[in-house]
């Protein structure tokens, strides 16, 4: 049966994956009450999709097999150690019902204790690398500090969405932090936000500016070993906890991209982090100290974080967690995992993922990031023998960490659909689901998200689990496959075979392999990374090159070092190779590059066709939005292909293979226009 568009409810994406409206009755047994449990009850009543008239028991009872805010789930009972465990159990139960999954007695424990969204939001409401409108927390600086009813409604919707996928923390401001955030007026607003978020289990954190003692405290220095500075931070932390008793702690970007840090005073990252950790320790707060640093040396950019942090292993307090981006450079479409994972054996570390698609087409391209994160979490570091995958190096199963955590840089803004692109919601969803269970497959996550977000399509139809064969065959299966292929497509059309950071300057949207203004740090320019010349292309990170391979544990070090064993997906990350280098396919490296760019473009054209065919199954608003985005994506992917092939062809001096479409743009025009987001 094909449903006609006329009976499909209009939707704008504002409800995310929480679109349930149930008419079935349910009796809830629960002998305690609290704001969190009231939310749990309310969700059950709103969304119950099991048998009508069921009685369900919510029980808080100490159970050693349940960890933290985990829960025991069965068809008609949820048991947990904490109220939040009950709430998470409720959301899981409803998700199972709405996606048609079975519910057997089982325990679900979170992989990480802290599952945090990092918002790069500024006091004026702008968002660094935000592509979905202005901040939901801040606007107009000082003038926008009054809390309105609308603010509260929005914050509650945000909290509910996060709780439904297990996220339990939010860093409310940009890591390029304004010192203003620590002033009383701003802290009052943080307090107000926290009060709305608290019943949903979301703790709040702040990014701090390391030089705040001098900038807003009137001190002559911000040296972390100076007694007055130490005192200033202790007093500030006390003030924060007097307002927000469950405040989570600080996130710090220090000595990176112009941000001040302990090195400005001749101190180490450990000196800086420990000083803050000592101030937070009595209140149970943590410091998330970022490893995204630039050393003053000329060393290979990919080696710098490891070089700065490895010598400090074991020197951090146990309430410090080193927050490490998934790859050694910067959230590229594909990077090998950062070698710091599992190498720091005496320090707590946490992964930092980027949900906002700074380098993956922003809110224009449809790119499901879950497959990238899955690849990262499943990467074997070999540090503690085979099977030392990143997931287990960070979730406490290999090393005893006092705290375990994972962070994702948020893609949320004031846009009606929260994320700018309807499919970008899937990345927020996937982050939460992986933070709760770091072994989930992307296939399962996409399946759930599609059913929750695009299921229940006929008006009046409330039984979401009742997915028709027709819907499954014509919507779910092809669209899921499109999502699962979308990241590899982006790698193909942006930077295949290990190429990285060949974006146009600043906006990081379109291609800019030529971008190298005079005076700019070389490691902020694409030629530094691709190193194309008439002899070949790629960054030599072998033992005879920058020797970045040595930061990886054997057998990876040798595997990456040897061009014959280096996986082709990382080939040009680790090797500079001649244009006629023979690939496994038998083609030359140049031809292979051409085929990858062409394949990426063809994949996106195919995505357009897949989406166009879903028209009868999607409400007109969301259908048209995604269709428009795919059109823009397609145009821009053509530019990616043409720009990269024509630019590199100047060096390779080889023809584009005859069986692929030749470029349709001219390099000069492309270089002059330097595409921005449509
Ligand atoms: C918040 C990249 C981004 C910056 C970002 C930085 C970071 O360089 O382009 O906008 O700054 O990473 O993660 O600190």
398 C-alpha to center of ligand 1: Å?
30
Q: Measured between alpha carbons, how far is 86 from 593 in angstroms, rounded to an integer?
A: 51
Counted residue by residue, the chain has a size of 678
Q: What's the rounded mean pLDDT across residues 385-412?
A: 96
**Residues 113-154 pLDDT 10s:** 999 999 999 999 999 999 999 999 999 988 999 999 999 999
CA-508 nearest atom, ligand 1:
9
Residue 178 CB burial class (10 angstroms; 0-12, 13-18, ≥19): buried
206 C-alpha to center of ligand 1: Å?
17
626 C-alpha to center of ligand 1: Å?
28
> To test the ligand 1 pocket, which listed residue (119, 121, 122, 129) has its Cβ within 8 A of the most ligand atoms?
129
152 C-alpha to center of ligand 1: Å?
29
Q: Measured between alpha carbons, how far is 582 from 605 in angstroms, rounded to an integer?
A: 29
Phi, psi of 138 (to 5 degrees): -130, 145
pTM above 0.85, yes or no: yes
pLDDT tier at 635, thresholds 50, 70, 90: very high
**Residues 211-231 pLDDT 10s:** 999 999 999 999 999 999 999
DSSP class of residue 173 equals S
Report how far Cα 44 is from the mean position of its chain's Cα atoms: 29
Q: What's the rounded mean pLDDT across residues 427-451?
A: 98
Q: Which helix (H) or strand (E) holds 409?
A: strand 405-409
pLDDT of 23: 86
Q: Is the pLDDT of residue 397 over 80?
A: yes
What is the CA angle 32-38-43, rounded to 5? 130
Q: Measured between alpha carbons, how far is 323 from 60 in angstroms, rounded to an integer?
A: 33
Q: Measured between alpha carbons, how far is 92 from 103 in angstroms, rounded to an integer?
A: 10
Strands of the 71-74 sheet, one edge to the other: 26-29, 54-60, 77-80, 71-74, 106-108
**Residues 87-116 pLDDT 10s:** 999 999 999 999 999 999 999 999 999 999
Q: What's the rounded mean pLDDT across residues 575-595?
A: 98
Q: Measured between alpha carbons, how far is 453 from 395 in angstroms, rounded to an integer?
A: 29
Q: Ligand 1, atom 13: nearest CA belongs to which residue?
A: 292
Q: Measured between alpha carbons, how far is 61 from 173 in angstroms, rounded to an integer?
A: 36
Q: What is the CA radius of gyration of the chain?
A: 25
What are the residue ranges of helices labelled H in 552-588? Answer: 556-561, 571-574
453 C-alpha to center of ligand 1: Å?
30
Structure tokens at 252: 């710090």
CA-176 nearest atom, ligand 1:
1
**Where is average pLDDT lowest: 365-379, 457-471, 482-496, 530-544?**
457-471
**674 included as an active-site residue:** no
| CB-CB contact of 421 with 629 (8 Å) | yes
Structure tokens at 340: 């710091």
Q: Is the pLDDT of residue 458 over 50?
A: no
Which pairing describes strands 71-74 and 106-108: parallel, antiparallel, or unpaired?
A: antiparallel
> To test the ligand 1 pocket, which listed residue (326, 330, 525) has its Cβ within 8 A of the most ligand atoms?
330
Cross-strand partners of 121: 127
Q: What's the rounded mean pLDDT across residues 345-349?
A: 97
Q: Is the pLDDT of residue 3 over 90?
A: no
pLDDT of 202: 98
CA-259 nearest atom, ligand 1:
14
pLDDT-above-70 percentage for the chain? 97
Q: Ligand 1, atom 2: nearest CA belongs to which residue?
A: 330
pLDDT tier at 506, thresholds 50, 70, 90: confident
Q: Which of 420, 433, 423 is nearest to 482 (CA)?
A: 423
Q: Is the pLDDT of residue 463 over 50?
A: no
Q: What's the rounded mean pLDDT across residues 328-332?
A: 97
Q: Is the pLDDT of residue 205 over 90?
A: yes
**CA diameter of the chain:** 76
CA-253 nearest atom, ligand 1:
14
Q: Which of 106, 127, 126 is nearest to 118 (CA)?
A: 127
253 C-alpha to center of ligand 1: Å?
10
Q: Rounded to whole angstroms, what are the CA distances from 332 to 82, 110, 425, 487, 514?
A: 38, 27, 20, 11, 18
Q: Ligand 1, atom 8: nearest CA belongs to which residue?
A: 330
Find the catalytic residue in 151, 271, 335, 358: 358
**559 included as an active-site residue:** no
Contacts of 367 (CB under 8 A, 6+ apart): 357, 360, 361, 427, 486, 487, 489, 490
331 C-alpha to center of ligand 1: Å?
9
Q: Measured between alpha carbons, how far is 471 from 456 in angstroms, rounded to an integer?
A: 10
**Residues 36-66 pLDDT 10s:** 999 999 999 999 999 999 999 999 999 999 9
CA-175 nearest atom, ligand 1:
1
Helices and strands (H, E) in the chain, number of each type: 20, 15
pLDDT tier at 271, thresholds 50, 70, 90: very high
Find the catalytic residue in 83, 223, 308, 330: 330
Q: What's the rounded mean pLDDT across residues 362-369?
A: 98
Please provide the average confidence, as pLDDT, over all residues in the chain: 95
What is the CA angle 91-96-99, rounded to 5? 120
End-to-end CA distance of the chain: 38
> To test the ligand 1 pocket, which listed residue (255, 257, 407, 409) has its Cβ within 8 A of the most ligand atoms?
257
pLDDT tier at 398, thresholds 50, 70, 90: very high
- Relative orientation angle of helices 589-612 and 477-494, to the nearest 10 degrees: 150
pLDDT tier at 677, thresholds 50, 70, 90: low
Find the catalytic residue in 51, 246, 257, 473: 257
Q: Is the pLDDT of residue 603 over 60?
A: yes
| CB-CB contact of 305 with 292 (8 Å) | yes
| CB-CB contact of 353 with 326 (8 Å) | yes
193 C-alpha to center of ligand 1: Å?
25
Secondary structure (3-state) at 108: strand
Which pairing describes strands 405-409 and 114-118: parallel, antiparallel, or unpaired?
A: parallel
pLDDT of 392: 97
| CB-CB contact of 512 with 660 (8 Å) | no
**330 included as an active-site residue:** yes
Q: Which residues line ligand 1 (CB under 6 A)?
A: 120, 128-129, 175-176, 253, 257, 292, 330, 358
CA-354 nearest atom, ligand 1:
13
């Amino acid at each position: 049966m094909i449903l006609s568009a006329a009976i499909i409810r209009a939707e704008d994406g504002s409800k995310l994956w929480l679109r349930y409206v149930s008419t079935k009755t349910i009796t809830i047994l629960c002998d305690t009450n609290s704001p969190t449990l009231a939310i749990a009850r309310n969700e059950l009543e709103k969304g119950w999709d099991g048998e009508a008239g069921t009685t369900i028991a919510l029980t808080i009872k100490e159970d050693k097999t349940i960890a933290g805010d985990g829960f025991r789930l069965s068809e008609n009972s949820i048991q947990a150690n904490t109220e939040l465990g009950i709430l998470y159990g409720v959301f899981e139960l409803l998700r199972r019902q709405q996606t048609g999954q079975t519910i057997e007695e089982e325990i679900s424990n979170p992989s990480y204790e802290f599952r945090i969204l990092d918002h790069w939001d500024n006091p004026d409401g702008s968002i660094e690398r935000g592509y979905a409108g202005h901040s939901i927390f801040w606007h107009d600086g000082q003038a926008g500090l009054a809390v309105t009813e609308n603010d509260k409604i929005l914050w509650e919707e945000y909290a509910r969405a996060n709780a439904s996928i297990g996220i339990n923390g939010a860093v409310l401001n940009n890591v390029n932090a304004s010192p203003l955030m620590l002033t009383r007026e701003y802290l009052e607003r943080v307090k107000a936000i926290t009060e709305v978020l608290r019943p949903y289990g979301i703790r709040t954190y702040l990014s701090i500016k390391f030089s705040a003692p001098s900038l807003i405290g009137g001190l002559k220095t911000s040296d972390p070993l100076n007694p007055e500075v130490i005192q200033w931070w202790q007093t500030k932390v006390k003030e924060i906890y007097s307002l927000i008793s469950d405040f989570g702690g600080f996130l710090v970007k220090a000595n990176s991209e112009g941000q001040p840090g302990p090195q400005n005073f001749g101190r180490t990252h450990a000196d800086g982090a420990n000083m803050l950790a000592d101030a937070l320790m009595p209140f149970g707060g943590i410091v998330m100290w970022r490893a995204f640093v630039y050393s003053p040396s000329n060393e290979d950019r990919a080696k710098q974080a490891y070089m700065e942090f490895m010598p400090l292993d074991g020197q951090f307090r146990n309430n410090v967690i080193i927050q490490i981006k998934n790859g050694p450079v910067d959230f590229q479409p594909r990077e090998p995992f950062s070698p710091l994972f599992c190498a720091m054996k005496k320090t707590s570390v946490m992964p930092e993922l980027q949900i906002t698609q700074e380098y993956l087409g922003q809110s224009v391209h449809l790119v499901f990031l879950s497959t990238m994160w899955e690849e990262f979490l499943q990467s074997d570091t070999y540090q503690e023998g085979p099977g030392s995958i990143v997931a287990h190096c960070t979730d406490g199963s290999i090393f005893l960490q006092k705290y375990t955590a994972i962070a994702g840089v948020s893609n949320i803004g004031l846009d009606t659909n929260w994320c700018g692109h309807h499919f970008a919601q899937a990345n927020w969803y996937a982050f939460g689901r992986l933070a709760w269970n770091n072994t989930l497959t992307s296939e399962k996550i996409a399946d759930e998200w599609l059913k929750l977000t695009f299921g229940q399509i006929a008006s009046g139809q409330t039984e979401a689990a009742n997915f028709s064969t027709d819907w499954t065959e014509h919507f779910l299966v092809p669209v899921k496959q499109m999502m699962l292929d979308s990241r590899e497509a982006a790698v193909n059309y942006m930077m295949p075979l290990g190429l990285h950071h060949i974006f146009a300057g600043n906006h990081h949207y379109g291609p800019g392999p030529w971008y190298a203004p005079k005076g700019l740090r070389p490691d902020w320019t694409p030629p530094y990374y691709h190193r194309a010349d008439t002899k070949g292309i790629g960054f030599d990170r072998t033992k005879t090159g920058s020797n970045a391979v040595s930061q990886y544990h054997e057998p990876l070090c040798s595997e990456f070092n040897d061009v014959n064993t280096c996986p082709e997906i990382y080939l040009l990350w680790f090797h500079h190779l001649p244009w006629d280098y023979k690939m496994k396919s038998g083609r030359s490296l140049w031809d292979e590059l051409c085929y990858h760019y062409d394949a990426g473009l063809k994949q996106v054209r195919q995505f357009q066709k897949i989406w166009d065919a879903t028209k009868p199954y999607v409400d007109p608003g969301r259908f048209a939005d995604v269709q428009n985005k795919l059109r823009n994506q397609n145009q821009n992917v053509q530019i990616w292909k043409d720009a990269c092939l024509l630019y590199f062809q100047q060096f390779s001096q080889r023809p584009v293979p005859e069986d692929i479409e030749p470029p349709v743009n001219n390099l000069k025009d492309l270089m002059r226009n330097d595409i921005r987001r449509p």
